[in-house]
Chains A and B, each alone.
Chain A
């Protein structure tokens, strides 16, 4: 590929824009480079941030797994928008609604769990009462000696 077919610097004049649009196989009206902020995009076209999921699954693409035709300009983040990765398809519920519902639920649950940790609430309990003089022999007490009498309750 010759130098003029490869990406170059940001187009400044209208002729450079037209040449860049022709280079990338785009209409001059469709061609929109990234803003010249010094980030290194050059004259690469800024395509809409839509993932491959949104493309027609029934059309006969040249490359069906990435739903792309030969020669079509690729999105800068093409490898992010493949079908295994980021999906920007429209959702049945608006995104802000989903976000709010999720955050309200998560916030409520976290607040309730935090309150439950700070102010625990359970039925009153006492220490566990073991039989056989508080398990004197099982705990390794001397079998010849008289164990200390442990009385837990009297009926």
Chain B
């Protein structure tokens, strides 16, 4: 029977949500194809354009009081104002809402009620010793 091909270092490393793959083990580091170079060139062009916009405002002899960053404003808007309009009740969101939003409230209602009822019953029966009592 044919043996399995040996596992690559990246497969041995098994990157996950908590650690990323080191650049040395990533095959794309050693990729020098023209497609990758064109992609990098396009990204560089975008970066250079943004850098130029920023430096023009920064080195302005009369700079504005605050150099607004549209990316920051978009990030803020997306996380605050854009969440509810794009929310949709789906099985997954309903389940998560039930478990993490409604569940704890019902749980703590039940917990406090049973604990207080039990304490009240003991007080009525005279079996409860008050802690920190000054008498």
Interface set of A (CB-CB < 8 Å, partner B): 1, 5-10, 23-27, 29-30, 37-42, 44, 48-50, 54, 62, 69-74, 76, 78, 88-91, 94-96
User: Quick check: is B87 within 8 A (CB to CB) of the other chain?
Assistant: yes
Q: Which residues of the partner chain A approach B12 to less than 8 Å between Cβ atoms? A: 94
Q: Which residues of the partner chain B approach A1 to less than 8 Å between Cβ atoms? A: 70, 73-74
Contact of B20 among A37, A50, A76, A96 (CB under 8 A): A50
Q: Which residue of A lies closest to B77 (CB)?
A: A6
The 9 A-B residue pairs whose C-beta atoms are closest, nearest first, are A38-B88, A40-B83, A71-B50, A70-B54, A90-B22, A7-B78, A74-B75, A42-B86, A38-B90
Contact A37 B70 (CB under 8 A): no
Contact A9 B50 (CB under 8 A): no
Contact A90 B73 (CB under 8 A): no
Binding site secondary structure of chain A? loop
Contact B54 A71 (CB under 8 A): yes
Contact B74 A7 (CB under 8 A): yes
CB distance from A41 to the nearest CB of B (A): 7
CB distance from A85 to the nearest CB of B (A): 13
CB distance from A82 to the nearest CB of B (A): 13
Contact of A41 among B15, B39, B86, B90 (CB under 8 A): B86
Q: Which residue of A lies closest to B45 (CB)?
A: A27
Q: Which residue of B lies closest to A51 (CB)?
A: B20
Q: How far is the CA of A40 from the CA of B39 in the complex (A)?
A: 30
Q: Which residues of the partner chain A approach B116 to less than 8 Å between Cβ atoms? A: none
Q: How far is the CA of A73 from the CA of B77 in the complex (A)?
A: 13
Complex A-B: 21 CB contacts under 8 Å? A5-B74, A6-B73, A6-B74, A9-B85, A10-B86, A24-B74, A27-B39, A27-B46, A38-B88, A40-B84, A54-B20, A62-B51, A71-B71, A73-B71, A73-B75, A89-B20, A90-B20, A94-B13, A95-B16, A95-B18, A95-B19
CB distance from A60 to the nearest CB of B (A): 10
User: Quick check: is B93 within 8 A (CB to CB) of the other chain?
Assistant: yes
Q: 1/0 per position for B1-30, CB-CB distance to A under 8 A?
A: 000000000001111111111110000000
Q: Which residues of the partner chain A approach B85 to less than 8 Å between Cβ atoms? A: 9, 40, 42
Contact residues of B between 63 and 89, Cβ < 8 Å to A: 67, 69-75, 77-79, 82-89
CB distance from A133 to the nearest CB of B (A): 37
Q: Which residues of the partner chain A approach B67 to less than 8 Å between Cβ atoms? A: 70
Contact of A62 among B19, B54, B74 (CB under 8 A): B54
Q: Which residue of A lies closest to B50 (CB)?
A: A71
Contact B39 A91 (CB under 8 A): no
Q: Which residue of B lies closest to A29 (CB)?
A: B39
CB distance from A55 to the nearest CB of B (A): 12
